Amino acid sequence: MRQNVYEFIQTNEDMKKYLRIQPAWYKRLMRNPHELDKFETEAKYFFEKSIPHRVSKFSDSVQVASMMLHMFQAMNVPSE
């Protein structure tokens, strides 16, 4: 494996884990080191660290916070 590919994988814990989960990437990266970007993209999607996943998580958090705020406001309204 090329030194730059090896160093990239060693410096990123998620990439090491993904490579162990998907060992077919060893062969692919040995033969085609230019596929490193594709490997990184697939690993990010696998660990749900891509931008769409992050936006979705943030949106869910905001939605939960909004729901909690409405619930607290409803509890504080004096009943007549």
CA distance linking residue 18 with residue 59, whole number of Å: 26
pLDDT value at residue 29: 94
> pLDDT by residue for the chain (80 residues), tens digit each?
789 999 999 999 999 999 999 999 999 999 999 999 999 999 999 988 888 888 988 998 999 999 999 988 888 877 66
Give the count of beta carbons closer than 10 Å to the beta carbon of residue 7: 11
The residues, any chain, with a CB within 8 Å of residue 42's CB and separated by 6 or more, are: 18, 22
pLDDT value at residue 79: 62
